[in-house]
Amino acid sequence: MSTNLTRKIISEHLVEGQMEPGSEIALRIDQCLIQDATGTLLWQQFESFGLSRIKMPLAVTYVDHNILQTDFRNPDDHLFLQTMCQKYGAIFSRPGNGISHFAHLERFDAPGQTLVGADSHSCTAGAMAMLAIGAGGAEVATALAGEPFYVKMPRVVKVNLVGEFQPWVSAKDIILELLRRLSVKGGLNKVMEYVGPALDRLTVYERATICNMTQELGATSGLFPSDQMTRRFLRAQKREEQWKPLEPDPDATYDEELTIDLGQLEPLIAKPHSPDNVVPVREVTGMPVRQVAVGSSVNSSYRDIKVVAEVLKGKHVASNLHMTLSPGSRQILLNLTKDGVTADLVAAGVREMEVACGPCIGMGAAPPSGGNSVRTFNRNFPGRSGTENDRVWLCSPAVAAATALQGVLTDPRTLGLAPDIQEPDQYLLYTGGFVQPAADPASVEIYRGPNIIPPPLGKPLPRSVKGEVLIKLGDNVSTDSIISGGNQLLPLRSNIPATSEYTFVYVDRDFVKRAKRKGGGLIVAGQNYGQGSSREHAVLAPLYLGVKAVLALSYARIYESNLVNFGIPPLRFENPADLKTVKQGDLLEIVGLRKGIEKGEPILVRNKSRRKSYWVSHQLSARQVNILLAGGLTQHFRKKWGLGPAKQAKVRARS
């Protein structure tokens, strides 16, 4: 049987399991990607394993989220991460060196390898024919320890790309079209494998845009073949020796198929407040705009930024808005500067920001209250920008540039001829921002600032659980809604007691007080609970506040794993209609919880406030059940390795 590329890479890395969609498999991992917003907890989890060195061919920690050093907390985190890398054998990417996905694409991504990253957008590496999967930090820590990575065998979707772009249409419009068709739940437990004749005209940077936002479909990953475009990119990065051809077999079979004709696409935009709320730009032209932001891990390549510069060259951004730019890497910034692109942007009135994620995760350039912000980013969940009542729109660099020029939302096709962008045949390389592991690890002293607090540990699963419903939520609740980003919260990411004070801050400002007053309790939600980022803080903060279980209709993949990894059972209503009868404040008793989890049997939930009963169950593998019973991943592995249970450090939170 002809084989698709996803199954080829999986078969070469398969350690355990059967390649049957929905069954759990274990993969050997070649690379780990770590970033600072999740990295401090991740490295503390690795340290709790008691190992002296990582057992991973390549691991890189990037400082790209918490880059603002407004007080001691972020620089303390940076020093902690650097010394951990030097001691345990990882490469450290210094602040300002690059957004992880761009810098990793330039220097480390390699065709045919596997990567697991503590960032949900790690699937960006699929542009380099890598099977790259985002995960929680605890799972990445175990990969660093040499353990395989476990995931459900995905269904593989053939996305056939045909035709040629019309002027002003780009790769961003491909992924927005997929989101329009499939929704933020449409890719659950799937790998989107991109094939077709149009690939001959899609550069690696354009493929990275598509793979990055494949995560917004809820997909496990996205994947392109390794072809002559891949070879050209590696040659430009002076890494051509790492190229090898990789593609699906002719007539390869897939679980699902769909086709996108690039010639039928037009400029698209995602309206607030979801990446799948997509409409043609022409339907919303003329809308007043207060901010335009270009960059983030999806659209800050040389190619993306040069499109903007060509539109604005010799002109100026409109006076009614301000415009920001966040380059993807220092290397991209160097090449833009060398080619005169940066000067054109500065002269046009663009506010250049640091090489970092920046406004995408609410670290600077928050939009004004109620003002429309048009961004080339990947997410527009409520409050993610740092402004509570934000209105964020997601679009291509061309749409962003046209809007900045005209002062209102503008279809770039009204500007005339589209610029013809050619990427350099050779990039000016920059590698000075990477710090190698220490030659003498024993001499490295780990730097621990006062804000670095050991994360809470889960406890062995109890026989039964009783508690009030602390909050009831709807469908598609994101991790940004559970624990938001922004410059107030991100510096607290190493300090769960302090972070927990912001739990559901944009959803229910009384949640934290209520959880403390009730001594913890339960969370109830609808479909796709926990979509979005891989941040474990969205599990650890509720855990710290005493959340004992979550009852929902379904979960996002990473979030469900994170719940298990910290000992919180993710339960599912067997009858969706039961969800409607549960109200906030109801007292629920989950009877025989431990036995039901262990045996895989339906679990009885008694609603004592309404004298109703429900049945819930789980969709966990036998491995995940063992982790949950033990109280989380750290306790599970310490037991497996004969190290004894980890003890929770007694600390006092400092915010």
Q: Domains of the chain: which residue ranges?
A: 5-264, 281-412, 465-640
Mean pLDDT, range 312-317, rounded to an integer: 97
List the Cα angle 469/473/474 in 5-degree steps.
145
**In this structure, what DSSP letter does residue 506 have?**
T
Kindly list the distances between the CA atom of residue 169 and the CA atoms of 266, 292, 323, in Å, as whole numbers in the listed order: 6, 19, 21
Closest CA to 326 of 290, 289, 291, 365: 365
Kindly list the distances between the CA atom of residue 460 and the CA atoms of 130, 629, 633, in Å, as whole numbers in the listed order: 37, 5, 11
SS3 of 131-193: the string is EEEECCHHHHHHHHCCCCEEEECCEEEEEEEECCCCCCCCHHHHHHHHHHHHCCCCCECEEEE
Q: Label residue 316 by pLDDT band (50, 70, 90).
A: very high
CATH class of 5-264: alpha beta
- Return the pLDDT at 649: 56
What percent of the chain clears pLDDT 70, i.e. is strictly above it?
98
pLDDT tens per residue, range 320-341: 999 999 999 999 999 999 999 9
Closest CA to 144 of 117, 119, 124, 120: 117
Parallel, antiparallel or unpaired: strands 587-591 and 603-607: antiparallel
- Return the pLDDT at 652: 43
- Return the pLDDT at 2: 87
- Return the pLDDT at 372: 95
Q: Label residue 68 by pLDDT band (50, 70, 90).
A: confident
Mean pLDDT lowest among 63-72, 190-199, 270-279, 408-417 = 63-72
- Return the pLDDT at 455: 86
CATH of range 465-640; options 3.20.19.10, 1.25.40.10, 3.30.565.10, 1.10.579.10: 3.20.19.10
Taken in order 221, 226, 229, 234, is the CA torsion positive or negative?
positive
**168 or 655: which carries more pLDDT confidence?**
168
Count CA atoms within 13 Å of residue 156 on its CB side.
Answer: 23
Whether 156 shows a pLDDT value over 80: the answer reads: yes
Whether 651 shows a pLDDT value over 70: the answer reads: no
pTM of the entire structure?
A: 0.93
pLDDT tens per residue, range 396-436: 999 999 999 999 999 999 999 999 998 899 999 999 999 99
Mean pLDDT, range 252-276, rounded to an integer: 97
- Return the pLDDT at 456: 85
- Return the pLDDT at 314: 96
**In this structure, what DSSP letter does residue 579 have?**
G
Q: Token pair 């274990």 is at which residue?
A: 26
- Return the pLDDT at 358: 79
SS3 at position 512: helix
- Return the pLDDT at 646: 66
- Return the pLDDT at 361: 80
- Return the pLDDT at 654: 39
- Return the pLDDT at 457: 81
- Return the pLDDT at 655: 36
Q: How many CB atoms lie within 10 A of CB 371?
A: 16
pLDDT tens per residue, range 201-212: 999 999 999 999
> How many residues are recorded in the chain?
655
Average pLDDT across the chain, whole number? 94
Whether 650 shows a pLDDT value over 70: the answer reads: no
Whether 453 shows a pLDDT value over 60: the answer reads: yes
Q: Label residue 509 by pLDDT band (50, 70, 90).
A: very high
DSSP 224-263: --B-HHHHHHHHHTT-GGG---B-PPTT---SEEEEEEGG
pLDDT tens per residue, range 541-574: 999 999 999 999 999 999 999 999 999 999 999 9
**175 or 488: which carries more pLDDT confidence?**
175
pLDDT tens per residue, range 584-623: 999 999 999 999 999 999 999 999 999 999 999 999 999 9
Whether 121 shows a pLDDT value over 90: the answer reads: yes
- Return the pLDDT at 357: 84
Is-same-fold flag (5-264; 281-412)?
A: yes
Whether 179 shows a pLDDT value over 80: the answer reads: yes
CATH homologous superfamily of 281-412 equals Aconitase, domain 3 (3.30.499.10)
**Partners of residue 185 on adjacent β-strands:** none
pLDDT tens per residue, range 236-262: 999 999 999 999 999 999 999 999 999
